[in-house]
Amino acid sequence: MSKKILILTASPSRDKMLDELIAEKLRALGNEVWVRPCLRNGRQSVLELQPDIVILPPVRNPYSRDMCETLKSWGIGVVSRHTEASCDWQDFKKMSEKDKMGIFGAIPYIVDLELVWGQDEAEILTRRAAPFKVVAVGSFVCDVFMSDYKSKVSPREVFNQKYKFDQNKKNLLIGSPWGFVDSAPDLRIDEVDEIKRDIQGRDKYIQMIKDIIPKLSDKFNILVTIHPGVGLEVYKKELGQLVPIDSESPAVELLANSDGLIHSGSTMAIQAHLLNIPAFQYGDVNSKAMSWFAQPESNLSKVSVKFDNVEDLINAVNSTETKTNANLDTLKILETGRFGLMDGKATDRAAELINKVDGKFKWCWPKASRDYDQLTIMKDHARIISYAGCGVCGEKFVIVKDEWLTQLSNALKIPKPVPPFGFACPHCGTRVLDVYGNRSDSSQIGVVQTATQDTVAV
């Protein structure tokens, strides 16, 4: 049965070509499929197209969770497709509990199916005991580069004309290092350690680009590409007069027309390998000091030969043949761990699974956004009670909130009930706190814990 499927793209410059490839596979299965940007007009696209199934980027914030809930309330099947690889078991086991929560996601959500890259990630996320399947389909990032990509990119001559490149020179692509420092400059706090490291790494990288331009420009046309989500301002200011800067073209367009890549630990190293061009790493955005990875060095930063010295980097770029120089052993580790299968079939497997998701759009009255809570009928019991526990017997109990008693007595026009000055655990009789937070006596015989205050001796 044909379905109406809407794919919402996280980052058009990074993900749209891949999402279009998934759309092709879904259309081949007899479905009507659209690909639209997720942010800005994703919700409008749902209202316009009224799809039966929506494919979303990873659910990581209140906005996307709200979208999941609304889609489900309309009968729409919801699939979350991870746009990046997460972590493998080796890294996960060494993470702090806080970082593990970052992998699990701090915001609970419900979808019909979650598609991830590697089997390790699928097993890790299954530990959440969520009411939906998490399935590993392989490394999405490889599919575009292992498909008929040549028909989707500009010929070298047209590409060179766009940037006013010398047609007789090779093209060298330099990818900017990822960093939150330039994602929202107006919101950053420069004194924060993470931001300081980002700034140092970014500035060192820009200086590297300035240093290699006069040494390599006789042999190479040089193009700098900005990572999706990173602001252009600093790069334009520092490099705009020296080299062209691209912030819109997809990776396959750039790499297919390049003869070498300099990066700082990017997945583009794998993509360069698939296109049989050499890649060189300078800096490391995946190191433990620069990211959430628990390992001192991520396997992703072992795909390419790494350089700390600019002169050595220049010599390597000048002398390396135009063919892959990737570490094949590292690629195998990534394939069996973090990235999943790199066989170019991830989109095929994804399309087959998406096609089995049930969903049928139906109009229904939306949930009220207004709060209709009353004094005796309300949405949230937290307005009336708080949870607590006895430090002596360990049993749980609840405390009626004084604020609610005041509201109720005022509404009923009766004197507010006044509890005894001190009250006891309803299970064992141990005195705890009164409703005003005062000690019930001075014996310090117990402990009370609530959801809103730390352990208190009483």
SS3 content of the chain, % helix, strand, coil (to 5): 35, 15, 45
CATH number for the domain including 87?
3.40.50.2300
In a domain, 71, yes or no: yes
Global confidence as pTM: 0.74
The CATH number for 258's domain is 3.40.50.12580
**Is 337 a domain residue?**
no
Give the span between the Cα atoms of 25 and 348, in whole angstroms: 6
Q: How would DSSP label each residue in 416-430?
A: PP---SS-B-TTT--
Does residue 272 lie within any of the structural domains?
Answer: yes
Asked if 31 and 60 sit in the same domain, the reply is: yes
Token readout for 294 is 């628990």
Same domain, 218 and 101: no
Q: DSSP letter string over 347-383?
A: HHHHHHHHHT--------PPPP-S----SSS-S-GGG
Say if residue 10 is in the same domain as residue 159. Answer: no
Q: Answer yes or no: are the C-beta atoms of 225 and 247 closer than 8 Å.
A: yes
Give the sheet arrangement for strand 260-263, strand by strand.
245-246, 220-225, 170-175, 260-263, 279-282, 305-307
28 lies in some domain: yes
Residues 66 and 128 placed together within one structural domain of the fold: yes
Indicate whether 249 and 134 sit together in one domain.
no
Q: Are residues 160 and 184 in the same domain?
A: yes
Counting the structural domains of the chain, the total is 3
Is residue 315 in some structural domain? yes
Residue with the two structure tokens 């043949």? 321
Q: Give pairs for 267-272: CB < 8 Å, separation 24+.
A: 267/84, 267/85, 267/141, 267/300, 268/175, 269/300, 269/303, 269/304, 269/326, 270/139, 270/141, 270/142, 270/303, 270/326, 270/331, 270/334, 270/339, 270/342, 271/141, 271/142, 271/145, 272/324, 272/326
Distance CA 279, CA 255 (A): 10
Q: What is the mean pLDDT of each run of 10 residues along the chain (458 residues)?
A: 94 87 96 93 95 95 90 96 89 85 86 96 92 95 85 91 96 85 53 68 91 95 88 87 92 94 93 95 77 66 93 95 94 92 95 96 81 80 86 87 87 77 79 48 38 33
Contacts of 227 (CB under 8 A, 6+ apart): 175, 176, 177, 178, 266
- For residues 114 and 157, membership in a common domain is answered with no
Angle between helices 346-355 and 12-28 (to 10 degrees): 60
C-alpha 289/C-alpha 83 separation (Å) is 24
Q: Is residue 432 part of a domain?
A: yes
Domain range spanning residue 390?
381-457
Q: Where are the alpha helices (DSSP H) in 74-183?
A: 89-93, 97-104, 119-126, 140-143, 156-162
Would residue 282 count as lying in a domain? yes
> Under DSSP, is residue 280 helix (H, G, I), strand (E, B) or coil?
strand
311 and 284 within one domain? yes
390 and 416 inside one domain: yes
Q: Element (H or E) spanning 236, and its range?
A: helix 233-239
Pair 122, 238 in one domain: no
- The reply to whether 145 falls in a domain is no
Same structural domain, 130 and 166: no
Same domain, residue pair 277 and 426: no
